[in-house]
Amino acid sequence: MKNSSMHVAYFSMEFAFDDKLQNFAGGLGVLAADTMYSFADLEIPVVGVSLIYHQDDDQEKALMPEAFMKKREETIEIEIENRKIKIIIWQMDVTSKNGHTVPVFFLSSYTPENTRWDRDLTKHLYASDKYTRLGQEIILGIGGYRALKKLGYSDIKHYHMNEGHTAFLGLERLRTNGYNEEVVRAKSSFTTHTPVSAGHDYWGYPLIYQTLGNMVPQNIKNLATPDNLGMTQLAMNLSHKINSVSKRHNEVCKEMFPNHEIENITNGIYHPRWVGTAMKELFNTYLPSWEQQPEIFQTAPVVIPTEALDSARQIEKSALVEWINQMPHNFAVENPSKEDLFSPDTLTIGFARRFVPYKRPGLIFQNIDRLREIGYKKIQLVFAGKCHKNDMFCNKLQDTIRYYGRELRGQIKVIIIPDYNLEIAKHLITGVDIWLNNPFPPREASGTSGMKAALNGVLNLSILDGWWIEGLERAPLAGWGFGSNLNKKNVTNRDKFDEEELLNKLKEAIICYYDEKDMWNERMKHAISLLSYFNTHRLVHEYNNKIWNTDKTNLI
């Protein structure tokens, strides 16, 4: 395929392809990478654009991307404060089993020709100082567009901006199209993932004029926002299509941005990437076309034999328990004895994600006496989350969970893994029995970890927010939901009410697991059936049909 024939250029600040490539912080990057894998499988002509972060000024410690990608001979320049900064380009190819390749280009300012200051613009993802962070977004949006032109992508049919970090792509396209806004909008689209105002980037106009100079259009305050340059608003105003990432998120977006029409395309996962080894063998036997045709998961409740599913789940769970027990330093209790170790016969609940306040990692412990009463010697809890050394909330919360674990010794086993990455996620979502999720609604735009868990026959115990509202509607047996009266509760009492409902549902789950094994097995099958819809194959079909309207013959 010639470069000039590419249909879509997909810009994203994050792509989570490998733990060693530290250019992702969470779900945004995982979703972007999963989407690329589906593009490759479905042979959709797409090119990805992002940044790569070298991590350290010492060349012996800096990330060397050569193990994952190749360095292109082509380079570009961008201007910040009238300084010319050289940008190098790395290429990673995402290749399907059928040999179709989707190229993803990663930009970096880490080259000797630049000053140390400019080299460090791409040192760390989401730099803490505003100037560097703004520089990264300039490199991604403006530099990304120039890179595609330099690489020969002369006839991109559509430019897709994944979250507001990419919005300067629109400014560069304005500049190169004679500031014709309609021309730019006609070939641009935007996905927003952030349901709270504080999560959107805003830049003071003095800093914008200082860094971009005469590249800033005269009507910038109309294109963005009057007081500060809002990246989300800029992307929206330069796009002909905008989409949210779950139905509930769509409602929130329409309240936040009432002047825009916003489509919804609910997130999904790349199912071949997140399936456990034993579950993969199960699917190969009973759902042989599952990789290419995930819609076949809909037949799981009828087609998959209970005995075979139970056997596969036991293999996955035993592998997780063995892995956990090899890390005694992560147990809440000191010097754990044999009795403190996890058991493959005990209902295992997992919670793994960013430890930020709205995720409420410690919610289940708020009424520890009732938790003890319900879960006495019947549950074991595994938490995973990575804290920055200066993140007081995260570190204090992990210490609090360890404290509760010590208080519950001999009654409920607790482990907390002080890290979270792709590898840890794969261990947990394939091996636990229940996936716990209790963010403060409506702050969960979608979430995808619960989808990955469901793929592996894990039941969700989740607040009704994000994707799970749709998930539970599609398969009521796939788990439990709580927090249904989210618009009626006093915010100050939200935690109390939610924890009470959470523990009520947990009690139901415990009874089902130990006393209603046939129903538990049926629930696992229905959880798997959710992947007939919540997959990135379906997602990219929807993007193509609702947003991009590219040649549908490319989807055959």
Alpha carbon distance 388, 538 (integer Å): 36
* Mean pLDDT in residue range 501-514: 98
Per DSSP, the residues of 209-264 read HHHHGGGS-TTHHHHS-SSEEEHHHHHHHT-SEEEESSHHHHHHHHHH-TTS--EE
- Residue that the structure tokens 């049919």 belong to: 157
**Residue 1 has what pLDDT?**
40
* 457 neighbors 476 (Cβ within 8 angstroms): no
**Residue 554 has what pLDDT?**
43
* 72 neighbors 17 (Cβ within 8 angstroms): no
Residue type, 503: L
pLDDT in tens, 334-359: 889 999 999 999 999 999 988 888 88
- Whether pLDDT at 492 is above 70: no
- Establish whether the linkage from the previous residue to 442 is cis, with ω within 30° of 0: yes
* Mean pLDDT in residue range 130-156: 97
- Going by pLDDT thresholds of 50, 70 and 90, the confidence category of residue 526 is very high
For the chain, the structural domain boundaries read 3-268+538-555, 271-534
Alpha carbon distance 52, 65 (integer Å): 8
pLDDT in tens, 393-443: 899 999 999 999 999 999 999 999 999 999 999 999 999 999 999 999 998
Q: Which CATH code fits 271-534?
A: 3.40.50.2000
pLDDT in tens, 231-252: 999 999 999 999 999 999 999 9
* Mean pLDDT in residue range 130-157: 97
- Whether pLDDT at 388 is above 90: no
* 73 neighbors 150 (Cβ within 8 angstroms): no
Rg of the chain (C-alpha set): 24
| 58-67, 525-534, 544-553: the lowest-pLDDT one | 544-553
**Residue 307 has what pLDDT?**
98
Strand 101-108 relative to strand 83-95: parallel, antiparallel, unpaired?
A: antiparallel
* Mean pLDDT in residue range 523-549: 97
- Whether pLDDT at 213 is above 70: yes
* 184 neighbors 170 (Cβ within 8 angstroms): yes
Q: Kindly state the tokens that stand for 280.
A: 């993969």
- Residue that the structure tokens 């209603």 belong to: 516
* Mean pLDDT in residue range 124-130: 90
Q: May I ask the CATH class of domain 3-268+538-555? A: alpha beta
* Residue 124 backbone dihedrals phi, psi, to 5 degrees: -135, 145
- Going by pLDDT thresholds of 50, 70 and 90, the confidence category of residue 485 is low
Beta strands of 367-495 (E only): which ranges?
379-384, 413-417, 434-437, 459-463, 479-482
**What spatial distance separates the first Cα and last Cα of the chain, rounded to whole Å?**
16
Specify the 3-state DSSP secondary structure of 135: helix
- Whether pLDDT at 196 is above 70: yes
**Residue 387 has what pLDDT?**
86
Alpha carbon distance 40, 410 (integer Å): 50
